[in-house]
Amino acid sequence: MAEQVLVVKGEEPKSKVPASGAPSAKAKTVPKVLPHQALGISYYVERLYPGDRVRRFLEIFAAVLQHTNYGQVVDTYARTGAKCAQCACTCQIYLHTRDPRDVPCYRSNLLLEVYRRHFTLRGVLQSKLTGTVHLTEERISELAESVYHCTGCRRCTFECPMGIDHGLLTHLSRYILSEMDIVPKALVVATREQLEGKTGNTSAIPVPALLDTLEFLSEDIKDERGVDIPFPIDQEGREFVFFPAVSDYLLEADTLKGIAATFHAAGESDRWTIGTGYYDGINYGLFYSDWCAERIIQKEIAETRRLKGKTILIGECGHASRSARLFVPTFGGGKNALPILNIMEYTLDALRRGKLKLDPNIITDRVTYHDPCNIARTGWIVEQPREILRSFCKDYVDMEPKGTQNFCCGGGGGTVSVDEIRPYRTKVTGKLKADQIRATGAHYVVAPCANCKKQLREVCEDHGLTGVEVVGLHDLIYKALVL
Amino acid sequence: MESVLAFARGPLLVFAFVLFFLGVLRQLGLTGAELVRAYCLAGDRAVPVGQLVRNSLEWIIPVRALQGSRIPYTAASMLFHVGALLVPIFLSGHVQLIQKGLGLGWPAMPAGLADTLTLVTLAALTVLFLLRLADRSSRALSRFQDWLLLVLCGLPFLSGYLVAHPSANPLPFSLTYLIHLLSAELLLILIPFSKLAHITLFPLTRLSWELGWHFVPGAGERVRTALGKEGEPV
């Protein structure tokens, strides 16, 4: 999400200061070569590392191997990878392009080969003896392009007999590249605003604007449903502190109204609150930087503690849920860390306790459910939303494949925020998704994830699926809830 | 020829076994140490051991994989592994040799079963070779060692079968026997140094994967410090 990144005016020049050091006299002569053109990659980057990029890459890789836990897994993978190409038959990109460069194992090998040649005794000896140079500018560019072709959906992990997690290697490659500033501008700009900007969130929504929005949403509910449902703000001691993808406040009014209405209908409006200190669940660190991931998650933990909350409640967002579940225990105290709950888990619980009444005669059009990779791939949230949907949708159908095996929306791994690669996202990575949706014949595609929603709307638009409406789970609940 | 054979069955065999054991021990030791280090550094030490074991077992008995989309490849691979594991260890000739040499013994498999398994293994290897050649993606991925190892894995089985069935053997007995010994010794030596390392590392790969996602608190900052990027903005 954060597709609508509102860049604070003062932000641009600051980011350009170091950049001016990069292109030397050459860049001053026309025509001007932009950093991404110089690298030969399809997404915008802010600047180029001015020195020897090959050397820098190796320095970063060495530092990462020294200080993190990636060393052991890279080493194991480099030793055991069998090159059987079993992963090819699960990768939705390869299934569409049939290009060997899109086989997950090929992509992973770009990094593993650097490891073999430069960080193992045998590789170093081999290079010395044969005098060959492995890592070159071209290979860095190839890796840079390749790892942002991958959506990090991790569907391939099901097929690798050796247990190689290509998603992990994609993440690591992106992390290394990000330390030399090769990372989509869209992701950096949003993260910069979140960590160092005035508003402290990826969509640059200041607190007054947030409060206005929430007031407006409440008025909307009053108009549409005739009920007063205020959004709880900065309430201390509530059980849940709520973090949606912050872009929902700009783009997904119905989802938020649905969530507020759910708490209200369950008679549990006093269990949750939104904090004005920090209200963004997005964590692009999961996509490209461990350094950012840790700093972002600390903000979530700090806000929950400030409000004396007991549980971090994540809205309808796949990567926000996974990053919280992964990083809160990692960076927030292991066993003693705050528990994480996804809003759909709460809603199902309320439904099972008989607190929610959903009118089965409201949603009569066909409904299908898209599984966001980050919550479904490990089997965490697969059946919960289906149970909710089946309880009130007259005509619910599943996609094929579904659940843990479902295809990615095509915009995973943060690529959905990169607008300049939209044709690639919708026509290549999103192709099988479009076919899947078409085959269901559904009117509503429920996608409880801000990233998936944006991507699927673009997929439907670019594939002429005009009769399809992409919605969140709570959008439908909002319509059907008896208040 | 006789002296070469004697050398291959004597000192060379011992050398190959010693190198194999040392190589495997070194590899397991280093990987184990790395895993322990990763576990100690991890911010979150909750490791779902049961799930990892289940996941590994599912691949040892790949029932689920046989419902996948490359069934011939998976089936051939599975059959190959059955033969490759059982025949060298339970062939009666091998069992007798080991008993004579080391005084250790275990039951041997019937000769008929060994013959069948050997032929199945060879057939499976041929299928694996052809499928690797026929599939565009695996052909593009394959390195020299991926082709070489397929051939090398077949040699001891083929030569072993011919040794056991002299009537079917067009080559001189001693030459076949030499090929059998040398190829098997080469394979043993290559195990720790090639992708055959998965023979010993396989049980650890899932744990390694899991710990890879268990990040180290403060590591991001330390990486930046090491790179001279302290205090730099995003």
Tokens representing residue A271 in the block = 């269990």
Q: What is the model's pLDDT at position B67?
A: 66
pLDDT tens, position by position, for chain B (234 residues)?
789 999 999 999 999 999 999 999 999 999 999 999 999 999 999 999 999 999 888 887 766 666 666 788 888 999 999 999 999 999 999 999 999 988 998 999 999 999 999 999 999 999 999 999 998 889 999 999 999 999 999 999 999 999 999 999 999 999 999 999 999 999 999 999 999 999 999 999 999 999 999 999 999 999 999 999 999 999
Quick one: A205 and A343 in the same domain?
yes
CA distance A214 to chain B (A): 30
Domain boundary among A289, A323, A351: A351
Q: What is the model's pLDDT at position A19?
A: 42
pLDDT at A12 over 90: no
- Which residues 21-60 on chain B approach chain A with CB closer than 8 angstroms? 27, 31, 34-35, 37-38, 41-46, 55-56, 59
From chain B, pick out residues whose CB is under 8 angstroms from the CB of A90: 69
Which chain B residue shows the shortest CA-CA distance from A328?
B44
- 8 Å CB contact between A299 and A200: yes
- Asked if B68's CB is within 8 angstroms of A75's CB, the reply is no
Quick one: A379 and A326 in the same domain?
no
Per-residue pLDDT averaged across A71-76, rounded? 96
Quick one: A278 and A407 in the same domain?
no
Tokens representing residue A12 in the block = 């641009």
β-bridge mates for residue A274, sequence order: A233
Q: What is the rounded CA–CA span in Å between residue A445 and residue A451?
A: 14
Residue of A266, A290, A43 lying closest to A149 (CA atoms): A43
Chain centre distance of CA B39: 26
Q: What is the model's pLDDT at position B1?
A: 79
Quick one: A281 and A361 in the same domain?
no
Q: Return phi, psi of residue B132, to 5°.
A: -65, -35
Q: What is the model's pLDDT at position B66?
A: 67
Quick one: A344 and A213 in the same domain?
yes
From chain B, pick out residues whose CB is under 8 angstroms from the CB of A290: 215, 219-220, 223
Question: Could you report the per-residue pLDDT of A424-455, keeping only the tens digit for each?
Answer: 999 999 999 999 999 999 999 999 999 999 99
- Asked if B138's CB is within 8 angstroms of A83's CB, the reply is yes
Q: What is the rounded CA–CA span in Å between residue A406 and residue A293?
A: 26
To test the contact with chain B by mutation, choose from A45, A59, A72, A296 the residue with the greatest count of B C-beta atoms within 10 A, namely A72
> Is A119 a domain residue?
yes
For residue A28, name the pLDDT band (cuts at 50, 70, 90): low
Question: Could you report the per-residue pLDDT of A218-232, keeping only the tens digit for each?
Answer: 999 999 999 999 999
CA distance A161 to chain B (A): 6
CA distance B70 to chain A (A): 7
> Is A227 a domain residue?
yes
Q: What is the model's pLDDT at position A29?
A: 61
pLDDT at A25 over 60: no
> Is A8 a domain residue?
no
CB contact burial A414-448 (16+ within 10 A = b; e otherwise): bbbbbeebbebbbebbbbbbbebbeebebbbbbbb
Three-class SS string for A437-475? HHHHCCCEEECCCHHHHHHHHHHHHHCCCCCCEEECHHH
CB contact burial A192-214 (16+ within 10 A = b; e otherwise): bbbbebebbbbbbbeeeebeebb
Closest by Cβ to B137, choosing from A85, A195, A327: A85
Looking at this predicted complex, what is its ipTM? Answer: 0.94
Q: Return phi, psi of residue A472, to 5°.
A: -90, 165
CA distance A188 to chain B (A): 7
User: Domains in chain A: how many in total?
Assistant: 3
pLDDT at A21 over 60: no
> Is A271 a domain residue?
yes
Q: What is the model's pLDDT at position B198?
A: 94
pLDDT at A10 over 50: no
β-bridge mates for residue A75, sequence order: none
Domain boundary among A351, A371, A404: A351
CA distance A116 to chain B (A): 12
Q: Does residue B197 belong to the interface with chain A, where contact is any CB pair within 8 Å?
A: yes
Angle B38-B39-B42 from CA coordinates, rounded to 5°: 80
Which chain B residue shows the shortest CA-CA distance from A55?
B227
Quick one: A224 and A251 in the same domain?
yes
pLDDT at A132 over 90: no
**Which residue's structure tokens are 């350094």?**
A291
> Is A9 a domain residue?
no
Q: Does residue B135 belong to the interface with chain A, where contact is any CB pair within 8 Å?
A: yes
Q: What is the rounded CA–CA span in Å between residue A339 and residue A312?
A: 6
- Asked if B233's CB is within 8 angstroms of A14's CB, the reply is yes
Domain boundary among A351, A374, A399: A351
- 8 Å CB contact between A311 and A337: no
Quick one: A258 and A129 in the same domain?
no
- 8 Å CB contact between A193 and A234: no
Greatest distance between any 2 Cα atoms in chain B = 78
Q: In the predicted model, what is the mean pLDDT of chain A?
A: 93
From chain B, pick out residues whose CB is under 8 angstroms from the CB of A330: 42-44, 214-215, 217
From chain A, pick out residues whose CB is under 8 angstroms from the CB of B46: 329, 334-335
> Is A126 a domain residue?
yes
Q: What is the rounded CA–CA span in Å between residue A45 and residue A177?
A: 11
Q: What is the rounded CA–CA span in Å between residue A114 and residue A118?
A: 6
- Whether pTM > 0.90 for this model: the answer is yes
Per-residue pLDDT averaged across A283-298, rounded? 98
Alpha helices, H only, B108-233: 111-134, 136-141, 144-164, 173-190, 198-212, 219-226
From chain A, pick out residues whose CB is under 8 angstroms from the CB of B74: 86
For residue A11, name the pLDDT band (cuts at 50, 70, 90): very low
Q: What is the model's pLDDT at position A16?
A: 39
Question: Could you report the per-residue pLDDT of A321-360, keeping only the tens digit for each?
Answer: 999 999 999 999 889 999 999 999 999 999 999 999 999 9
Which chain B residue shows the shortest CA-CA distance from A95?
B137
pLDDT at A392 over 70: yes
Per-residue CA distances from B88 to A35, A133, B77 (Å): 58, 41, 17
- Asked if B31's CB is within 8 angstroms of A72's CB, the reply is yes
> Is A104 a domain residue?
yes
**Which residue's structure tokens are 């030490």?**
B45
Helix (H) or strand (E) holding A177: helix A166-178
A166 lies in which domain range?
Answer: 49-180
For residue A8, name the pLDDT band (cuts at 50, 70, 90): very low
Quick one: A412 and A299 in the same domain?
no
Which chain A residue shows the shortest CA-CA distance from B66?
A159
Q: What is the model's pLDDT at position A441?
A: 97
CB contact burial A152-175 (16+ within 10 A = b; e otherwise): bbbbbbbbbbbbbbbbbbbbbbbb
Chain centre distance of CA B113: 22
β-bridge mates for residue A340, sequence order: A312
From chain A, pick out residues whose CB is under 8 angstroms from the CB of B226: 63, 66-67
Q: What is the rounded CA–CA span in Å between residue A463 and residue A439?
A: 13
Which chain B residue shows the shortest CA-CA distance from A333?
B43
- 8 Å CB contact between A287 and A174: yes
Closest by Cβ to A80, choosing from B77, B132, B198: B198
Q: What is the model's pLDDT at position A30?
A: 65
Tell me what percent of the residues of chain A surpass a pLDDT of 90. Answer: 88
From chain B, pick out residues whose CB is under 8 angstroms from the CB of A293: 215, 220
Quick one: A94 and A172 in the same domain?
yes
Quick one: A346 and A372 in the same domain?
no
Quick one: A346 and A361 in the same domain?
no
Out of A31-45, A303-317, B65-79, B128-142, give the one with best mean pLDDT: A303-317
To test the contact with chain B by mutation, choose from A79, A162, A165, A325 the residue with the greatest count of B C-beta atoms within 10 A, namely A79
Which chain B residue shows the shortest CA-CA distance from A322?
B213
The CATH number of the domain holding residue A473 is 3.40.50
> Is A217 a domain residue?
yes
Quick one: A206 and A337 in the same domain?
yes
- Asked if A71's CB is within 8 angstroms of B223's CB, the reply is no
Chain A and chain B share a number of CB contacts under 8 A equal to: 184
Q: What is the rounded CA–CA span in Å between residue A432 and residue A259?
A: 31
Within 8 A by CB and 6+ apart from A230, the residues are A218
For residue A14, name the pLDDT band (cuts at 50, 70, 90): very low
